[in-house]
Amino acid sequence: MDISTNLANNILSKMKEIINQDLNYINTKGIIIASTNPDRIGNFHEASLVCIRKGTQVIIENDEQFIGAKKGINMPIYFDNNIIGVIGITGDKNEVEKYGEIIRMMTSILIKEAWLKDQDIRKKEITKAFIERIILEYDHDIYPMTNFLFPYTCIVGVVDKNNFIFLDDKISNALRDYFAYDNHHFFTISRNEIIILYHYYKDENLLLSIENLQKFILKKFNVLIKFGIGSNSKDYEELKISYKNAKEILKISTVFSSKKSIFNYNEMDLELLFVNLKKNAIENFKNKILKSISSKDFEEFSNILTVYEEENGSVIHTADKLFMHKNTLQYKLNKIKRLSGYDPRNLKDFTILSLAFKLKNLE
C-alpha cells in the first residue's frame, strides 16, 4: 500500500504541532515524498532503506552517516504487517528519541483512519451505483452485491431541499449507524432523495422500523424526513416498480394528508386512483372546479379545506385551529361556494372541492 503525498503532508503537519521538530515521510523506494522542510522533498534517503530492510528503527548520529539523511531517528511504518514507508524525525538523538514510538504509533493510526475512510467512500459509491442502476432500469449485474437477498421493499425519503445540501453526509452516517445491525439493507442519497432497499422478513413491522428511523434522524438533526414505502418485490423488475410506487405515493399522500409523514403503498386506498390518472383528465377536472378562484384565494381556501377536513367538518374547531372567528370562517366557506359553485358544508360538494384542491397542490 502506498499513501498519497497529501496524506503524508497532513500527517507530518499534525506531528509537528506536537513535537515542533522537522519530520520526513519516505516511501519504500527511499524517496522523501513529504517533509516539513520543503527543500528535502524528492531527495533520496539512504537510511530509510536500511530501516525497511531491518524492520526496526535506525538512529542517525551525524549528517554524514547516510546519503541524503540528517541526524535523527527513522522508524518503519506498518500496515497489515507490511512496511509501507518510513517516518523520520530530524534532530539530536537525545532530543528526538523520546518522541519516536508515539510518532510511529500516531502515524500508523492516521494512515489506518484514512484507509477506513477511503474504504467507506468506495463502498458508498459502489452501493450508489448499484441502486441507481436498478431504479434507472439499467443492468444491475455490473455492480453485484453478494449479500443482496430478496425480498426487498424500496423506501424513498425526502427532506427540505435547502437543508439537504448541509445534511447529506450526516444523514448518510445516521443511516449507516441505524442499519448497522443488518448488512442486507442498502441505501444511498441520490438527487436529493434517500433511497433505501429494505430487506424485510416475514411478519416484520416495516412501518414501525421506518418510524423509528424517522425519530432517530429527527432527534439527531431536528429534521423531519417524509418517507414513502413502496410495494413488496421478489426480483429486480418488481424492485424498479417498488421505487416508482414509493415516489408516487409519497408525492400524492403528502397532499392528501398534512398530519402523516410516512406513507405505505400497501395501505393506500383513495390515493392509488391518482397514481396513473391521465393528466388531461386531471386538468379538465381542476379547471372546471377552480376556474373562478384566484391564486391568492386558492392558497387561503386550500388551508381552510385541509383543516376543515381534519376537524371533521366542525366549524367551531376549524375556526379555533385557524385562529379565526367562526363568523369569518362561515364567510370564507360561503365565498368558496360562490366562486366555485360547490358548498364545502355539503358532503358531496366537499369531496369534489377537496379533490380539486389536492390535485392542484400536486403541480
The predicted-structure confidence for 280-297, as pLDDT tens digits, reads as follows 877 888 899 999 999 999
Q: Quick check: bond before 151 cis, omega within 30? A: yes
Q: What are the backbone dihedrals phi and psi of residue 87, each rounded to the nearest 5 degrees, phi first? A: -115, 135
Task: Provide the CB-side half-sphere exposure for 330 (13 A, CA).
Answer: 4
Inter-residue contact 327 to 338 (CB < 8 Å): no
Q: Do 266 and 179 share a structural domain?
A: yes
The predicted-structure confidence for 7-31, as pLDDT tens digits, reads as follows 999 999 999 998 989 999 999 999 9
pTM: 0.67
Q: Do 299 and 179 share a structural domain?
A: no
pLDDT of 141 strictly over 80: no
Q: Do 247 and 324 share a structural domain?
A: no
Q: Do 234 and 306 share a structural domain?
A: no
Question: Which pLDDT score, from 0 to 100, does residue 162 have?
Answer: 60
Look over the chain and give the mean of its residue pLDDT values, rounded to a whole number. 90
Question: Which pLDDT score, from 0 to 100, does residue 166 have?
Answer: 63
Q: Do 354 and 326 share a structural domain?
A: yes
The predicted-structure confidence for 217-262, as pLDDT tens digits, reads as follows 999 988 899 999 999 999 999 999 999 999 988 888 777 766 789 9
pLDDT greater at residue 246 or residue 276: 246
CA angle, 265 then 191 then 278, to 5°: 45
Domain count along the chain: 3
Give the residue from 100, 115, 130 where a domain finishes: 115
For 108, which DSSP code?
H
Does residue 313 lie within any of the structural domains? yes
Question: Which pLDDT score, from 0 to 100, does residue 160 have?
Answer: 65
The predicted-structure confidence for 62-110, as pLDDT tens digits, reads as follows 999 999 999 999 999 999 899 999 999 999 988 898 898 899 999 999 9
Question: Which pLDDT score, from 0 to 100, does residue 269 have?
Answer: 75
Inter-residue contact 342 to 336 (CB < 8 Å): yes
The CATH number for 344's domain is 1.10.10.2840
**CB-based contacts of 56, cutoff 8 Å, min separation 6:** 76
pLDDT > 70: percent of the chain: 94
Question: Which pLDDT score, from 0 to 100, does residue 134 have?
Answer: 86
The CATH number for 209's domain is 3.30.70.270
Residues 187, 154: Cα–Cα separation, whole Å: 10
Q: Do 176 and 78 share a structural domain?
A: no
pLDDT of 163 strictly over 80: no
Give the residue from 75, 100, 115 where a domain finishes: 115
List C-alpha distances in Å: 59 to 15, 62, 222, 282: 19, 9, 55, 82
Candidates 163, 185, 160, 161; CA nearest to 175 is 185
To 10 degrees, the CA torsion angle through 297, 299, 305, 307?
A: -130
Does residue 343 lie within any of the structural domains? yes
List alpha helices for the chain, DSSP H: 5-19, 46-54, 93-96, 100-135, 161-178, 206-221, 236-256, 279-290, 295-310, 315-321, 326-340, 347-361
The CATH number for 39's domain is 3.30.450.40
Give residue 267's domain range. Answer: 145-274
